[in-house]
């Protein structure tokens, strides 16, 4: 992830997991990724967002509009100190971008002017994937072969 990170950035942060999901999993996967990315890029890392409430439920079966509505106002900047100008936001999966958009809005509210997003995986529909690869994925595959646009 660090090799393809959209740099430059002043700091690395992550999309915080809800307390309920963190208790279920025992760790925050986006935080784990952010810590490694920050180390590889020799950048500071810190929590810059807090998630309000756990009642949004899982996003997995929602469409784009429902995801955006569920994430509206769900994140806020941490602390009273202004955010650095350029923030690299790390998450594990990007589906519709609703969560990333809500996080970016909160980071901007906290003072960031440039927010870049770095994700480990992109969830796509089979039809959309054909547009990237020309053929889709082999059964059971989780990674598209060849190159695709960033």
- Catalogue all structural domains in the chain, each as residue range(s) with its CATH number: 2-133 (3.40.50.2020)
* 8/44: higher pLDDT: 44
- Which range is least confidently modeled, 23-32, 88-97, 112-121, 131-140? 131-140
Instruction: Inform me whether the pLDDT recorded for 100 exceeds 70.
Output: yes
Q: What residues have CB less than 8 Å from 19, skipping those under 6 apart?
A: 51, 54
**Single pTM value for the model:** 0.75
Residues 35-60 have pLDDT tens digits of: 999 999 999 999 999 988 654 555 55
DSSP for 27-77 reads S-HHHHHHHHHHHHHT--B---EEE--STT---TT--HHHHHHHHTT-EEE
């Amino acid at each position: 992830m660090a090799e393809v990170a959209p740099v430059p950035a002043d700091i690395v942060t992550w999309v915080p997991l809800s307390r309920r999901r963190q208790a279920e999993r025992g760790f925050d996967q986006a935080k784990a990724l952010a810590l490694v990315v920050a180390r590889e890029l020799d950048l500071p890392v810190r929590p810059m967002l807090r998630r309000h409430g756990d009642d949004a439920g899982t996003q997995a079966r929602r469409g784009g509009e429902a995801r955006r509505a569920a994430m509206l106002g769900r994140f806020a900047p941490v602390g009273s100190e202004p955010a650095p100008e350029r923030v690299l936001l790390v998450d594990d999966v990007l589906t519709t971008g609703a969560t990333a958009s809500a996080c970016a809005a909160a980071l901007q509210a906290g003072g960031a002017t440039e927010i870049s997003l770095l994700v480990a995986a992109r969830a796509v529909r089979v039809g959309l994937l054909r547009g990237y690869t020309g053929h889709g994925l082999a059964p059971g595959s989780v990674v598209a072969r060849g190159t695709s646009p960033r």
